[in-house]
Amino acid sequence: MNEMAEMWDKLEEECGLFGVSNMNEDETAYCIYAGLYTLQHRGQESCGIVVNQNREVKFIKEKGQVREVFTEMLLSQLTGSMGIGHVRAGTTGTSSNINAQPLVTRYKQGPLAIAHNGNLSNESLLREELGDEGVFFQTSTDSEIILHMIMRERRHLKDGGSIEEAVSAAMGKLRGAYSVLLMNGSKMLAFRDPAGMRPLCIGKVGDAWCVSSESCALDIVGAKFVRDVEPGEIVIFDMEGGITSIRDHCGGKSSLCVFEYIYTARTDSIIDGQSVYDARQNAGRILAQAYPVDADVVIGVPDSGLDAARGYALESGIPLGRGLIINRYIGRTFIIPGQKNREAAVRIKINAMRAEVEGKRVVVVDDSIVRGTTVENQVALLREAGALEVHFRISSPPFLWPCYFGTDVPDREMLIAANHSLEEIRQMTGADTLGYLPLDRVKDIAPNATCGLCEACFTNSYPVPLT
């Protein structure tokens, strides 16, 4: 393993969207910038902003994080009353500038820009179908497929129809996870797949509308949360501040990715009516009920394990401590050459606090185990720091199946739980005991959620057909 991202055995995040409509032309890009900065945890590979000024679009997009790509000078050039932005994690397509979003194109009806979070499960079939019709692809992302499908459906409409009619027609043929911001010369559209697998919400600041993957970004720009975009809904924002909705694809069974609550979303977000912070604490409480143990301190693995650790401590009565320290200044491309330097690389990323764990029986709460190498390293660090016992608790069930909808759960041969028993995993990681969130308690972590939950990576029961 040469790259830090490989040694730091974690899921890749998803993507983040932020858009505004009917805002002061000089403020639009800065508002989107602040929103994307807040959503940076959802993707660090690339980012971009597109603005609409007098029915023409201007854009800047590049590999890198928001603070690296955008400067004061660049933002000042992006003037317009409407715009959309994107941070990318890159779950499909190669890592290159051409795949950075929003994607921008021109067709008969004018400019069109798209920002997409999720993965299509029928991507290969649609790519082949469009290719047979002579469509030329400039990127390797399935987001471009959505764009071409919308343009194709609009060509088929009588007199060209409207962009929202074309989106509705395309949604009837798309399969998988997609929350999307789409902008042409006169409108911004926000739409969500019928299962609602990826989040999207609406806020308002003054006379301007904002759309975001998470409510925390609305808070940062001073927007008041209005509501979530419903699964299957298309929301249309015009240049004058008007808002309308199409619900042709609403009403089916909803399946929000459960990892929004467990891992992906920021802890101060509220998604589909459920506080992420409360959901993670609930997971910790359930773990304490299902896997009690005599211990002296509970610690969480930063960051998404911290709230679950608090829940475990509250339920068990064991004091909550801070036993693992993460280095927040490591980039994802940090490279350590040579096998013998791997241990040093792990310590650069995370280290144990001896003052907290020495001579103690420690409960460690984390959000997931993918390949198992992270847990093994953390157990070793804690024992070297003097921990007498290390009891690992995981706030999700075991990963047994891959995800095809935008969360980077790899193939089964890469998943430790798909190939080893609980006891074998415990032995391999070196933990004294190991416990996962019980599968039958998953829904209990989000009792206030207005959407159902996708648990396919635990159960092999996918919310839409795989093609």
User: Rounded distance, CA 165 to CA 175, Å?
Assistant: 18
Q: Which two tokens stand for residue 249?
A: 């694809």
Asked, as a colleague might, if the bond just before 193 is cis with ω within 30 of 0, I would say no
User: Rounded distance, CA 129 to CA 106, Å?
Assistant: 21
CA-based nearest residue to 51, from 40, 39, 63, 60: 60
User: Rounded distance, CA 252 to CA 352, Å?
Assistant: 47
User: Rounded distance, CA 432 to CA 423, Å?
Assistant: 10
Q: Amino acid identity of 444? A: D
Q: How many CB atoms lie within 10 A of CB 116?
A: 29
Catalytic residue among 15, 201, 210, 257: 15
User: Rounded distance, CA 171 to CA 192, Å?
Assistant: 9
User: Rounded distance, CA 153 to CA 168, Å?
Assistant: 9
Residue 170 Cα distances to 173, 177, 183, angstroms: 5, 14, 16
Instruction: Quickly tell me which residue has 């609009």 as its tokens.
Output: 154
Q: Which helix (H) or strand (E) holds 168?
A: helix 163-171
Q: Amino acid identity of 289? A: Q
User: Rounded distance, CA 304 to CA 238, Å?
Assistant: 37
User: Rounded distance, CA 250 to CA 432, Å?
Assistant: 48
User: Rounded distance, CA 248 to CA 266, Å?
Assistant: 31
DSSP state letter for 437: P
CA angle 149, 186, 168 (to 5 degrees): 30
DSSP state letter for 137: P
Q: Is 15 an active-site residue?
A: yes
Contact partners, residue 275, CB within 8 Å, separation at least 6: 448
Which strands, in side-by-side order, build the sheet including 82-88? 56-63, 46-53, 82-88, 16-21, 208-212, 201-205, 224-228
74-86 burial string, b = 16+ CB within 10 Å, else e? Answer: ebeebbbbbbbbb
> Residues with catalytic annotation?
15
